[in-house]
Amino acid sequence: MRRAFLLLLILLGCAPWNQPLQGENPALVEPATIGDGALYVGLAFSGGGFRATAFAYGMLEELRAAGVETGTPDGLLDHVHLVSGVSGGSIMAAQFGLNGPAGLTRFRDRVLVQDGEEYMVTSRLNPLTIAKGMAGVVNRRDTFGRWLDERLFHGATFGDLHERSRVKTWINATDMANNVPFLFSPETFDALCSDLSKVRLSETVAAAAAYPLVFTPIVLEAHHGRCDYREPDWLTAARHNPAVTAAMRARARALESHADPDEVKLVKLPDGGITDNYRATGLAVERARAQVPHAPLTAAEAVRLKRMLFLVANTGVDQDDDWTKKVPGPGGEALAKSIATIALAAASRSGYDSMRGELRQWESELIEWRCAVRPPDGTAAM
């Protein structure tokens, strides 16, 4: 009976929720540019639970206050063109992407000071919690995801994000099987023959924030043969290019596996901070796959651009544990927590360095590209 009960928990915890694709995914996360594009603000929100959400919220409020002299009530928020987030930072990224500055209204009261564990199993003294932990299903997508949907997203999907968003919105989790970031993008869902437009933002954020040992990994189904999938040109080129970066090679390998029915039937997604706490890999992939120096800017955006501000919210903390002051320990829960924290901290440090390097390279290539652009009459370079 006990074995059957645990099996039931596993089946419930692993239920996939993405729908098959009919046709192909449009560029759902690439909205039109707002304003004149002279100032381009990009934001990256790291992981770190609700602490990360609070940091991201504070950053947005300060950006609103910093530009009030421009005559607009939302200040510099009107110039935010790109927002990315993982783990706890994905809550604010998805909310801002969907609703813009209006999404900050009462956000603190509706989210930050509320009990985000309302539907979660948290008691370490409850035998049921231990049983679920052994089965790998401590908290499923219908716990935190349900809370997010009721508080913030109200059933909104990526299709709604595309229709309502004024900014490029990037959310990522971790692809456990391939050890790479899982990007919630049309390209990824094309390989899965799955409809990104039907994916709820609450489910996406729940996947991005599925911290190991606390949440069950979110599960997606690969709907092989349900669409006419063709691998992107960059992937074909990367397969035969020995100079391609390790990040691009890993991304290509992941897409190949998603499209192969002999390799992947289910994709399991824990916290995005495990592999990339700032989505630096996603930025590098987006730039490389576009094969143009100005990407992810469009050519028109790159020409109009005068100033760029890219802010990263780093919500990491220094670990201070009592077991460093005595011979015994860590053990049990403390050991498991320490291992998870070490992995996330290491990813955070390398991710930050990678983000800085990628932005410097982007700046250099963008300047070089702009200097080579000529007016329509071809008389002089810009």
Q: What is the pLDDT of residues 55-75, one digit of tens each?
A: 999 999 999 988 766 667 888
Specify whether the backbone of 264 is left (phi greater than 0), alpha (psi in -120 to 50) or beta.
beta
Q: What confidence score (pLDDT) does residue 214 get?
A: 65
Which residues are CB-contacts of 120 (< 8 A; sequence separation ≥ 6)? 139, 143, 144, 147
Handedness of CA 96, 101, 103, 105 (dihedral sign): positive
Per-residue pLDDT reduced to its tens digit, 245-303? 888 888 999 999 999 999 999 998 888 877 887 777 778 878 877 878 888 888 888 88
Per-residue pLDDT reduced to its tens digit, 297-330? 888 888 888 888 889 888 766 665 666 777 776 7
* Cβ-contact 99, 163 below 8 angstroms: no
- Relative to beta strand 307-313, strand 266-269 is unpaired
pLDDT at 342 over 90: no
Q: What confidence score (pLDDT) does residue 134 get?
A: 45
**Phi/psi of residue 119, nearest 5 degrees:** -105, 10
Which residues are CB-contacts of 281 (< 8 A; sequence separation ≥ 6)? 180, 181, 247, 251, 275, 351, 354
Place of tokens 């460093």: 324
